[in-house]
Amino acid sequence: MRKLAAESIGTFALVFAGTGAITINDVSHGAVTHVGIALTFGLVVLAMIYAVGEVSGAHLNPAVTIGFWVAGRLEGRLVAPYIASQLAGALAASISLRLLFPDHATLGTTSPSGPWLQSFVLEFLLTTILMFVVLCVSTGAKETGVMAGVAIGGVVAFEALFAGPICGASMNPARSLAPALVSLHLEHLWIYLVAPTLGASFAVVGWRCVRPDHTVEVI
């Protein structure tokens, strides 16, 4: 239960801060800026890794949880409870933002700014890079260590910086699902559920290529 509570709280913070930055940027006519939004996502991921990484691993992301399972670093019995906890935290965050900003249309929902295939490929590749870094700097299925938060938060920030204007740089099904459900903007949601999940799973191939003898700890 400690692990599940940590995942729920951590994902709440991620979605509340990240999509909150997008929402506040809209209502404040650009005061946060695109750079500020990207940094907010990176910094909240960094903070949550240091806060709950020792407890649950600070996945905060169903795609990351599935990636750890595919890599053989997370027990199958934990996958569904982890994802349920992450979705609960994300939904609570989006509901909170709806209460705070009742007139905002999208609450930070991700959507393509160009062809759907372009955003699908971007989300796939962005999540592949993210999961590759996560696997390389984590211990077992836990994102812990002195530099893990910096490395993973840095990846989230730089990917959001350059790809955010095109695809939203979600890399996280929970982050996209919650605002889409609460704002009822479901048109492109499937992209942000499927592409990150496939990308996180594919990253395991790259990780095994560069670290074939890496000893893992399973939780």
Question: How confident is the model over 177-195, as pLDDT tens digits?
Answer: 999 999 999 999 999 999 9
DSSP 22-63: HHHHHHTTSSSHHHHHHHHHHHHHHHHHHHHHHHH----SHH
Please give the mean pLDDT across all residues of the chain.
93
What are the start-end ranges of the E strands in the chain? none
> What DSSP designation does 139 have?
B
What is the reported pLDDT for 210? 87
Domains in the chain, CATH or no CATH each: 2-210 (1.20.1080.10)
Q: Which amino acid is at 102?
A: P
- Model confidence at 139: pLDDT above 80: no
Angle (CA) 213 217 218, round 5° = 120
Q: How confident is the model at residue 148 (pLDDT cuts 50, 70, 90)?
A: confident
Q: How many CB atoms sit inside 10 A of residue 80's CB?
A: 10
- Model confidence at 212: pLDDT above 70: no
Question: How confident is the model over 28-42, as pLDDT tens digits?
Answer: 999 999 999 999 999
In sequence order, the 6+-apart residues with CB closer than 8 A to the CB of 178 are 15, 19, 87, 90, 91, 93, 94
Q: How confident is the model at residue 85 (pLDDT cuts 50, 70, 90)?
A: very high
